[in-house]
Structure 1
């Protein structure tokens, strides 16, 4: 077994331990929420909306954000982490993520998420012949998850300063992601965007809520001020986020549906100019660009169309170029984490040093 394979195995095991512990916590949270929710007695849609959020949230994923929060809580020597504080942070993180996924699938008109129907399409199936009601209920389900991500902190009985700071951080993460989502849609009107623009989209849309905020919240749960390490945390989150987005762009074209949770035709039909498609468009011949234009963004894209895109991508080595840069950004994150040894606990430093390797190796 190679070094990278061993690191990947260890990281997968470590993250799975956090995921399994959190899954039990999340299930208990929703059970309590159902028991205490203030919903109209005569309403069917109101309690169902909560169940729709629960279904997507508990379907889960890797829970990498949760692992970041728990590991960040152990970064600083002499920290006074309370299990309750870091649990509340983790719940807020995953409720915010549920909100972001529900609304992202509406924006992208995505049928699947995490190996099952998206919340939007689940409502469409429940309400055939009522597309506007399905859309409205999906929007409201996403809004509910957003409110719950704040309410879980407000109701936890934490020290007032801690609760307020956690809510402020989550608000900032939410706002950054909203701005990133707007920017993500804007790039579709810019032709072939500069790669620095794609980095900026990734930073706002994903890295700040998926990596930076969990790091900050974990430190807060240990009653440490994340502002003391703000530049280092931001550098790490940005490099880790870009590496992860490049991996997702690669898998959207070359990954299996069992791995990605959505068909390979989804991103081709969407027509978004990803890192991978951008490089391919710049390298392609005029005839190849015309062929790509005839396929990308077509709602009825087929597996044959996907194969056509793959052939052009591989013919110009765009896939291998992207994989090399994905690893480069992962190494930047790892190198950044190594610098934390001067102020952080060795075991937690090792996690943040090695987890980018896991990010590169997993699923490939």
Structure 2
């Protein structure tokens, strides 16, 4: 991971810094992992308790309703890094190191919104598996093999259930009504932006090959606004902060981290080790998706090379041999190196934005936000 540049503003010994001609320092990666793991362990128990409480509420006599709730519960508890949960609590820690009423409700809410997105994404993508088990959509297909429209409708409704539960959590939060309303407004805005992002994501694969700005806009709307910006704003609100006073820089941080993270995922999809990422390389190519990596190959390829890449995109399910040929084309043109450099650049820019928060917010929480994007980038490189 050699590179050029300097430590971000506020950089200190032990942080993620780069010096000319030297590798990125990774001394703090364990600290980020430990913080994320601590949030995840506590939250998973809390999330399970939440679903137990919801299941204990009076429900109409039905087999479909509890089954849908069980599927939403299973999808929600199935795993994940719980990054959104960590961001809510770490954003609250920017303001105070005391326990913050409403932070748990905000974390549950944003994870339920994530569940909604996963269920609907799997419908849109016709994905049979999610996190090592059947997707909700395919669980319903197995339940109703002779009634595909019923299976589709029930999967849509299960995703909707997760979405509306996510709003109700905030409206029931143990905080004053004005704060509940403010958090619900952040949540609703993030949810709407995410749906817009899904439209943009589907549109990306039609018409001319999208440029960098268009790809960044998709990443911003589909991922960054609900996975990064909304948790930041919710955590600050819960702790008594005013996210609107710092809206532009919070949005910039979220966009930089979101774009860098999506580019990392797209890089790993094409160039990652299948044994490490848990799936064969090239799933975006085989699905006809114009990811950052695929678009970069199309932009760099020439003549017959470009035709081969385009044919692979246009023929869903291309064989591993075709994926390998596209990888060779990409490496010949330095696409892999270019993407790694862009991932690093975005992560460093995000770290610099967070470093500028020193003096305004608590240093140990600021440090987490400085380290996080660089830790994420390092996982790809």
Query: TM class, shorter-chain normalised?
Result: over 0.9
What is the CA-CA distance between 1:261 and the residue it aligns to? 5.3
1:49 matched residue in structure 2: 68
The runs of 5 or more residues in structure 1 that have no matched partner are none
The runs of 5 or more residues in structure 2 that have no matched partner are 1-13, 15-22
Contact 1:112/1:262 (8 A) holds in 2: no
* SS in structure 1 of the partner of residue 357 of structure 2: helix
Contact 1:82/1:221 (8 A) holds in 2: no
- Judge which range, 345-354 or 273-282, deviates more: 273-282
1:61 matched residue in structure 2: 80
Residue 18 (structure 1) aligned with residue 35 (structure 2): no
- Judge which range, 331-340 or 119-128, deviates more: 119-128
Quickly say closer, same or farther: Cα 1:229–1:339, change in 2 above 3 A: same
Q: Which has the higher contact order (CA 8 A, sep 6+)?
A: 1
* SS in structure 2 of the partner of residue 301 of structure 1: coil
2:60 matched residue in structure 1: 40
2:10 matched residue in structure 1: none
Q: 2:90 aligns with which of 67, 71, 77?
A: 71
What is the CA-CA distance between 1:246 and the residue it aligns to? 0.4
> Over residues 128-147 of structure 1, what are the superposed CA-to-partner deviations in whole Å (9 max), with x where a residue is unaligned?
23221111111111101100
Quickly say closer, same or farther: Cα 1:156–1:137, change in 2 above 3 A: same
* SS in structure 2 of the partner of residue 156 of structure 1: coil
Counterparts of 2:274 and 2:74, CA distance in 1: 20
Aligned residues: 360
Q: How does 1:273-292 map to 2 (within 5 A)?
A: 273-292=290-309
Q: How does 1:244-255 map to 2 (within 5 A)?
A: 244-255=261-272
Contact 1:268/1:298 (8 A) holds in 2: no
1:97 matched residue in structure 2: 114
Quickly say closer, same or farther: Cα 1:263–1:126, change in 2 above 3 A: farther
What is the CA-CA distance between 1:106 and the residue it aligns to? 1.2
Q: 1:128 aligns with which of 139, 145, 149?
A: 145
Quickly say closer, same or farther: Cα 1:194–1:96, change in 2 above 3 A: same
1:293 matched residue in structure 2: 310
1:337 matched residue in structure 2: 354
2:126 matched residue in structure 1: 109
Counterparts of 1:95 and 1:260, CA distance in 2: 25
Contact 1:114/1:260 (8 A) holds in 2: no
TM-score under structure 1 length normalisation: 0.94
Contact 1:202/1:245 (8 A) holds in 2: yes
Q: 1:302 aligns with which of 299, 305, 319?
A: 319
What is the CA-CA distance between 1:122 and the residue it aligns to? 2.1
Contact 1:219/1:225 (8 A) holds in 2: yes
What is the CA-CA distance between 1:158 and the residue it aligns to? 2.1
- Judge which range, 349-358 or 120-129, deviates more: 120-129
Contact 1:211/1:241 (8 A) holds in 2: yes
TM-score under structure 2 length normalisation: 0.90
Contact 2:101/2:174 (8 A) holds in 1: no
* SS in structure 2 of the partner of residue 299 of structure 1: coil
